[in-house]
């Protein structure tokens, strides 16, 4: 309701849209800073220097965020290592398959050469058969 905000120190509202990744990054920075969200946003928008608030509560929040970041980085490293192993395995398999295909291709080429030789022999036999038939007809 508009009437509720008229006596506030900050009666105006500003809103904006962010992606999921941007939201996570912003919320992480807010948690690490130890500031309330409104103070963090105002300070960020006005290019003010934002200082991390110390104390037990702030350091505990920072510790939790750092631990979460550490777990995230370890998980990312594990995923990267698994992906590297998978890539190496697939590369080896592809190399093996490629070698087998090349061997098959060479075998096919050899078979085609043999077929050409057989076709040549068959054509020569046909020619000799036709010549033999022609000679036999002439001798009759």
What ranges do the domains of the chain cover? 1-53
The string of pLDDT tens digits covering residues 13-67 is 888 899 999 999 888 888 888 888 888 888 888 876 766 666 777 678 778 888 9
The string of pLDDT tens digits covering residues 55-79 is 777 678 778 888 999 999 999 999 9
Rounded CA gap, 140 and 119, in Å? 31
Given a contact cutoff of 8 angstroms between Cβ atoms, the answer to whether 58 and 31 are in contact is: no
Given a contact cutoff of 8 angstroms between Cβ atoms, the answer to whether 32 and 52 are in contact is: yes
Closest CA to 34 of 14, 9, 54: 54
> C-alpha distances in angstroms, 61 versus 30, 34, 57?
10, 7, 6
Report field, pTM of the whole predicted structure over 0.75: no
């Amino acid at each position: 309701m508009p009437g509720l905000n008229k006596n506030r120190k900050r009666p105006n509202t500003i809103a904006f849209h962010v992606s999921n990744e941007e939201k996570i990054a912003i919320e992480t920075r807010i948690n690490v800073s130890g500031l309330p969200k409104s103070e963090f946003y105002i300070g960020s928008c006005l290019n003010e220097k934002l200082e991390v608030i110390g104390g037990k509560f702030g350091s505990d929040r920072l510790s939790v965020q750092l631990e979460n970041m550490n777990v995230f980085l370890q998980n990312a490293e594990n995923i990267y290592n698994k992906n590297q192993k998978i890539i190496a395995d697939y590369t080896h398999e592809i190399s093996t398959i490629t070698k087998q295909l090349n061997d098959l291709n060479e075998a096919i080429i050899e078979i085609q050469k043999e077929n050409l030789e057989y076709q040549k022999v068959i054509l020569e036999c046909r020619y000799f058969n036709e010549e033999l038939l022609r000679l036999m007809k002439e001798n009759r």
